[in-house]
Structure 1
Amino acid sequence: MENNYLISVIIPVHNTAGYLRKCVESVRNQSLKSIEIILVENLSSDNSAEICDEYVRLDKRIRVLHLQEAGLSIARNAGLKIASAPYVGFIDSDDFVEPTMFQEMLDALVNYEADFVYCNYVFDYEGKESIYPFRDSGLVEIYPLRDFLRDMMWEKISCSFCTKLFRKDFFDTHEFPVGRLYEDRLVMHEWVLACNRIVWLDKSFYHYVERFDSICHTIVPINRYHFFLSQYERLEFINQHSLFEGKELYDVRTMIIRICLSIFKEIMLRVKPSDFREPFEDMRQKFKKILSLKEGEIDVRCRKRMKGIVYNWPIYNLIHFAFKRKKYSLIIL
């Protein structure tokens, strides 16, 4: 029976006991029943591990791994190693999905012979109305790779792994980057280059549950530094692959550079450079590299701010951070 599963769904689990059952039930109750569910629990300090073990006894389609290392990429890579189905999807354990998600996505992927298919998503807020950002026409479309990359850089398409269903053999040559946060934002554009065909199913199947204590919403310097790195990688990618030209290239560069500058500001208002030395120097070096772009290729105000950070740091720090920093609590991960 194990070898007859059509889809393996990998769910990393870490301290999400309050959300885990709703997540798992949304997969167990899929209209497609030929699904292998792999729960990869890693160093939870709540009762997430016990809930995972309960489900093994409840449903023979469920397998559980208990890892001695924490990390989304570690968990996903471990799940891939034991996944037995020809197609694979990923869900975060505090989110949930609609009942027909995997059947409809599988049909689209197989019918169009795609490397992966992606769907729309919903933002769910506790105590607030959900937000549906897409038109949800129900149409299935082949999405040209270049257009996909361009729209992803403009944040019109989610880079999240969780809204996608992949061919399992794609991961014969790809794995999730260990030791990095915002791993989807870091590598999804590179993965797209390795694809021949991508399909979009214009339906909202995936529910992002917005928790303000999640990793992505926790503002600590090291988390924000990882977000900075993912944005910088995007900027490098754009410069290398000629996705944009003219004013659009100028505008998308400006958008990403402003995000990097904003992240740098967030970090510097919360921590002294001497307490965050290596990431601090790395960000300055990356700004220096951006400054090698010619005049007119990046926004003048962004260039001025980066010059202050790179070449006049003592004065720039005194004006923009030194006194304001006292208002913030020192938070270091």
Structure 2
Amino acid sequence: MISIIIPVYNVEKYLPKCIDSILSQTYTDWELILIDDGSIDQSAKICDEYTYKDKRIKVTHKKNEGVSKARNIGITLAQGEYICFVDSDDWIESTYLEDFKVKEQQCDFYVSGALYDTYNKVYSYKKYKEKFCINQVEIRDEFFEQDLLSNGYPWGKLYKSQIIKDNNIKFNENLTINEDHIFVFQYFSYINTFYITNTAGYHYTVFDYPGRKLSAKINNYTELKLAAEQFNLIINQFKLLWNITSKQYETLYNTFVISKRLSAFRSLILLKEKKYFKEELTYWNKQPYTGCNKYEKLILCIIHSKFIYGKYYLCYIIYSILQQRYRKTYERLIYKDLNRRSIKITHG
């Protein structure tokens, strides 16, 4: 049995389509666990109504404590051999669960591709090359060759319940950013077999008409720093577990540790958390990293310079200008990112 966990919070517009797509699955041995995270719209009522439609659907109502807490509660309630996460504003095609081939390919972890929906149309998709990995070397090779390091979404995957529960793998409830990516990476460190499908049946809503997922909020310094620290621990586990090369280690370290720490520095500047400024200067003065684009290079040049005074204020001016540009081009940047890591679909 597959336990499908859906955190629910104020998604009355999307929830029926999401649940209906689960009810239409060709693979029928599943349970659906809805975690109502203190919704104040009609979402809680919709959840209750669906429990009367199908005995496989269960709902738990709780106060609002965030998506990580909701998913963790879902994990504790799961009775299935496998766990599957779905976001409440997304939906899945009818063969989504069947395409994992759990009866034919029994293993520790399954990953599939996805379709990215923008304004109710499929804008692009990501499909992987089918591969069944039977050891750590094959898992490591596919992880890098198929760029699975960039796929940190909890959805589009099947996890073995026993591995999650035996190793106490949880979503970090102190994080509201990258908690999903960290969870996926942690799970990777406990698997021995791995199946990658060549299918894409998960519809992820990038944008909808009200621009509901458009957000350019600045995450706080302490969360971003914690995320960088968590990634650092996991990457060093990968180094030992997979015997990764120095180049592979550098790729992971720069992508998930350095980038998060740079975001933390940007956050403390823009949110004026000056009490952490000296700590960050000390950190970056010990780092050999010099930046991957002209803006990073400029910021790090200012940090490393012994002759520039008023570093905080100079960084604030630069980041403020960049933030204004970012807000104006946010949607364009999202599309650029989709094009980079998936195949664009042209609509006539």
Normalised by the size of structure 1, how large is the TM-score? 0.77
In the alignment, residue 187 of structure 2 is paired with which amino acid?
A: W
The separation in 2 between residues aligned to 1:12 and 1:31, in whole angstroms, is: 23
Which residue of 1 is the match for residue 272 of structure 2?
272
1:218 and 2:218 correspond: no
Which residue of 2 is the match for residue 28 of structure 1?
23
1:234 and 2:231 correspond: yes
Which residue of 1 is the match for residue 181 of structure 2?
185
Provide closer, same or farther for how the CA distance between residues 213 and 285 of structure 1 changes in structure 2, counting only shifts above 3 A.
farther
1:94 and 2:89 correspond: yes
Cα pair 1:151 1:157 within 8 Å, conserved:
no
Following superposition, the deviation at residue 10 of structure 1 comes to 0.8
Which residue of 1 is the match for residue 196 of structure 2?
200
Deviations 1:118-139 (A, max 9, x none): 110111001554201336x6x4
Following superposition, the deviation at residue 186 of structure 1 comes to 2.0
2:152 to 143, 156, 159: 159
Cα pair 2:115 2:122 within 8 Å, conserved:
no
Cα pair 1:97 1:207 within 8 Å, conserved:
yes
Deviations 1:167-195 (A, max 9, x none): 22122232222221221212322221111
Cα pair 1:12 1:72 within 8 Å, conserved:
yes
The separation in 1 between residues aligned to 2:18 and 2:291, in whole angstroms, is: 47
Which residue of 2 is the match for residue 146 of structure 1?
140
Which residue of 2 is the match for residue 123 of structure 1?
116
Which residue of 2 is the match for residue 3 of structure 1?
none
Deviations 1:225-268 (A, max 9, x none): 64564355334543564365455554554445663366346535
Provide closer, same or farther for how the CA distance between residues 322 and 228 of structure 1 changes in structure 2, counting only shifts above 3 A.
same
Cα pair 1:118 1:165 within 8 Å, conserved:
yes
Per the alignment, in what secondary structure is the counterpart of residue 124 of structure 2?
coil
In the alignment, residue 141 of structure 1 is paired with which amino acid?
A: F
The separation in 2 between residues aligned to 1:290 and 1:32, in whole angstroms, is: 51
* Structure 1 segments of 4+ aligned residues over 6 angstroms from their partners: 310-314, 326-329
Matches within 5 A, 1:95-114: 95-105=90-100, 107=101, 109-114=102-107
The separation in 1 between residues aligned to 2:57 and 2:71, in whole angstroms, is: 15
Further displaced range: 27-36 or 299-308: 299-308
Which residue of 2 is the match for residue 168 of structure 1?
161
Unmatched tracts of structure 2, length 5 or more: 325-348
Further displaced range: 204-213 or 88-97: 204-213
In the alignment, residue 39 of structure 1 is paired with which amino acid?
A: L
The separation in 1 between residues aligned to 2:318 and 2:26, in whole angstroms, is: 58
Provide closer, same or farther for how the CA distance between residues 86 and 255 of structure 1 changes in structure 2, counting only shifts above 3 A.
closer
Following superposition, the deviation at residue 161 of structure 1 comes to 1.5
Further displaced range: 55-64 or 122-131: 122-131
Deviations 1:37-57 (A, max 9, x none): 111101112211111111112
In the alignment, residue 212 of structure 2 is paired with which amino acid?
A: D
Provide closer, same or farther for how the CA distance between residues 247 and 167 of structure 1 changes in structure 2, counting only shifts above 3 A.
closer
Q: Number of matched residues? A: 308
Normalised by the size of structure 2, how large is the TM-score? 0.74
Following superposition, the deviation at residue 15 of structure 1 comes to 1.1
Provide closer, same or farther for how the CA distance between residues 45 and 303 of structure 1 changes in structure 2, counting only shifts above 3 A.
same
The separation in 1 between residues aligned to 2:109 and 2:200, in whole angstroms, is: 16
The separation in 1 between residues aligned to 2:103 and 2:221, in whole angstroms, is: 38
1:70 to 57, 65, 70: 65
Unmatched tracts of structure 1, length 5 or more: 1-5
- State the superposition RMSD in angstroms: 3.4
Per the alignment, in what secondary structure is the counterpart of residue 182 of structure 2?
helix
The separation in 1 between residues aligned to 2:150 and 2:321, in whole angstroms, is: 38
Provide closer, same or farther for how the CA distance between residues 254 and 162 of structure 1 changes in structure 2, counting only shifts above 3 A.
closer
The separation in 1 between residues aligned to 2:215 and 2:221, in whole angstroms, is: 9
